[in-house]
Amino acid sequence: LKTIFVAGEQCDYESKVWAEKVFKVPILNHWWQTETGHAITATCLGLGQSLKPPQYTTGMPFPGYD
């Protein structure tokens, strides 16, 4: 297990920290809405984004959403 990607609901920061300690891997959060059809913010590993996004965020702006 290299990373855990949280989907369905935004993961609160305290739960994210807890899960990282328990599973010993980065927990990646994201944000999107059904109406957009894809993520609005996320951590894109293939683009070299940090596995440690800023605290209380759901990642960086997702490429292609503007």
Is residue 43 a part of any domain in this protein? yes
Residue 66 lies inside a defined structural domain of this protein: no
* Residue 18 pLDDT: 96
Number of structural domains (the chain) is 1
Cα 54 from Cα 35, distance rounded (Å):
26
For the whole model, what pTM was predicted?
A: 0.73
Query: Residue 41 phi/psi, 5° resolution?
Result: -130, 145
Amino acid at residue number 22: V
Domain span including residue 12: 4-61
Label the pairing between strands 60-61 and 39-42.
Answer: antiparallel
Sites in the chain below the pLDDT cut of 70: 65-66
Q: Which two tokens stand for residue 4?
A: 């855990």
pLDDT in tens, 44-57: 888 888 888 888 88
Calpha distance 52→44 (Å, rounded): 12
CA distance 18 to 9: 16
